[in-house]
Structure 1
Amino acid sequence: MSNMSISDSIRGQIPPIHPEGYPFIGGFALASLILFWIWSPLGWIATVLTIWCALFFRDPVRVTPVREGLVVAPADGRISMITQALPPSELGLGDRPLPRISIFMSVFNCHVNRSPVAGRIERIAYRPGAFINAELDKASEDNERNSLVIATADGRIGVIQIAGLVARRIVAFVREGQTIGAGERFGLIRFGSRLDIYLPEGTRALVAEGQTAVAGETVLADFRQGDAGRTFRRD
């Protein structure tokens, strides 16, 4: 294997970094150099944190299943809750409980968020709030959040970025009126958080609580099939 092909292979194994992460990675790297000069053990600790920060802002290529009616995961993480819940009022999705799938992102997950469906971004609503543990159900109502409503041929879907215990900044890459494809990037949350997806009434989840979701790839639901739902077993 030539040197060129070896380097290409190595690059293929290292996911790209999202530009939002450059200032943070640079800050950690600078701190590492300073701490090495002060006391080398601190420098090594800071180096480990620099590597973690780079992993946090990784933005790997994803292969999204493309078909009308599919709903894919908007975030990497663990499916922490599948329930019926009243959507936040700013979504304008009505005053009746809707199917909700929640995905919890730890500080080790990739935090670039992707659209669960293809459609038009009908509404974006930001709401400041608290920073309690994003795994708690009340985080949906109390925490800082940024909400999107995406209009599709099969109904309107609510996607909510919820800040967590560590997160302090929700970043959006899209605007109202914009058309977006399934799996396309629409934002990120810095340092631990949660995504809630509100689906049209009667939609059945095709995933289970505790399952690992991959943004842009894991199918959460399918509007176009008469699937009565799936059963799951745990090993």
Structure 2
Amino acid sequence: MGDGTLDQQKPSFFWQIADDGWPVLALAGLLTILLTIMFVPLGTFALGMFVWLSHILRVPSRTTPQSAAVIVAPADGRVTEITKVARTNEFDPQVTEALRITIRTSLSDVQLQMAPIEGRVTDNFAIPGLFGGYEDMTAARADNERREITLTQDDGLSVMVVQLGGKTARQLVCRHHVGRFLRRGTPLGMARLAGVVELFIPADCTPQIAVGQHVLAGETAIARLPSRGRRRSSG
């Protein structure tokens, strides 16, 4: 749109494919055709893979909470960690700590990521690195490729979404330019495929989920914002 606003997308039918999923699906479709020509049983297997990819690369139908005090999950997956972290130079100098929520997306989860709050993109940049496993998250955070996306509300509160690359998550995608306004639950990007997403929010937010819980992007309320008088930024 001309004013930089992007409305929340709603799928017109169940199998609508996310924009960032089409390159993967197109390659899978071409492979399916070639294998079918070469050997039908292989083509049948490839067709099954194509259907599976269509399922995880779709735009899911989600009901996004309307409360402005709610932060929703940015990705589908299982919550593996909820911890307070000390301020680093990634955060605003006035912030002493933030709450980090780690979500691990599997190959059976929908891969599309969604905006956790309503606000403008104030940062979106990739940091080159390795594509190691997630067994040692300390090493993965330090060495793996990542993309950091910061969203800031009109009242100044900001959160940061970090896409963390891995053995299967080789492409970290977010095509929204700085200044673009996103509504809560709007498609944000994708880690192709099955990566880790970490959400950094103000430390005085109240978590609404627990470690081990499975969350849905754009639908699961994972934290509640503090009252206006106590709000701080974490982006």
TM-score where L is the length of structure 2: 0.82
* Residues 93/83 of structure 1: CA separation in 2 closer, same or farther (3 Å cut): farther
Tell whether the 8 Å contact from 1:91 to 1:149 is kept in structure 2 after alignment: no
| Distance in 2, Cα, partners of 1:163 & 1:32 | 27
Q: 1:61 matched to which residue of 2?
A: 61
Q: 1:203 matched to which residue of 2?
A: 205
* Residues 87/186 of structure 1: CA separation in 2 closer, same or farther (3 Å cut): farther
CA deviation profile, 1:46-105 (whole Å, cap 9, x unmatched): 122211221221111211111222100011111111112246644546674421101110
| Distance in 1, Cα, partners of 2:94 & 2:48 | 47
CA deviation profile, 1:112-136 (whole Å, cap 9, x unmatched): 1111111222222210111122464
Question: Is 1:142 matched with 2:143?
Answer: yes
Select between 103-112 and 34-43 the one with higher mean Cα deviation: 34-43
The 3-state SS of whatever aligns with 2:126 is strand
The 3-state SS of whatever aligns with 1:199 is strand
Report deviation, 1:27.
Answer: 2.4
Q: 1:173 matched to which residue of 2?
A: 175
In the alignment, residue 214 of structure 1 is paired with which amino acid?
A: L
Tell whether the 8 Å contact from 2:105 to 2:194 is kept in structure 1 after alignment: yes
In the alignment, residue 132 of structure 1 is paired with which amino acid?
A: G
Q: Rg: which structure is higher?
A: 1
Tell whether the 8 Å contact from 1:160 to 1:196 is kept in structure 2 after alignment: yes
Q: 1:213 matched to which residue of 2?
A: 215
Report deviation, 1:140.
Answer: 2.5
Q: Tell me how many residue pairs correspond in the alignment.
A: 215
| Distance in 2, Cα, partners of 1:75 & 1:116 | 9
The 3-state SS of whatever aligns with 1:167 is coil
Q: 2:193 matched to which residue of 1?
A: 191
Select between 91-100 and 148-157 the one with higher mean Cα deviation: 91-100
| Distance in 2, Cα, partners of 1:69 & 1:166 | 34
Tell whether the 8 Å contact from 2:20 to 2:189 is kept in structure 1 after alignment: no
Report deviation, 1:187.
Answer: 1.0
The 3-state SS of whatever aligns with 2:207 is coil
Calculate percent identity across the aligned residue pairs.
28
Q: 2:43 matched to which residue of 1?
A: 43
| Distance in 1, Cα, partners of 2:213 & 2:93 | 27
Question: Any unmatched runs of 5+ in structure 1?
Answer: 1-10, 226-235
In the alignment, residue 199 of structure 2 is paired with which amino acid?
A: I
Q: 2:7 matched to which residue of 1?
A: none
TM-score where L is the length of structure 1: 0.82
In the alignment, residue 58 of structure 2 is paired with which amino acid?
A: R
Q: 1:131 matched to which residue of 2?
A: 131
| Distance in 1, Cα, partners of 2:12 & 2:203 | 42
Tell whether the 8 Å contact from 1:134 to 1:163 is kept in structure 2 after alignment: no
In the alignment, residue 126 of structure 2 is paired with which amino acid?
A: Y
In the alignment, residue 124 of structure 1 is paired with which amino acid?
A: N
| Distance in 2, Cα, partners of 1:59 & 1:135 | 29
Tell whether the 8 Å contact from 2:115 to 2:185 is kept in structure 1 after alignment: yes
* Residues 217/191 of structure 1: CA separation in 2 closer, same or farther (3 Å cut): same
Superposed CA RMSD: 2.3
Tell whether the 8 Å contact from 2:150 to 2:160 is kept in structure 1 after alignment: yes
| Distance in 1, Cα, partners of 2:80 & 2:56 | 20
| Distance in 2, Cα, partners of 1:87 & 1:166 | 30
Report deviation, 1:166.
Answer: 0.6
* Residues 224/97 of structure 1: CA separation in 2 closer, same or farther (3 Å cut): closer
Question: Any unmatched runs of 5+ in structure 2?
Answer: 1-10, 228-235
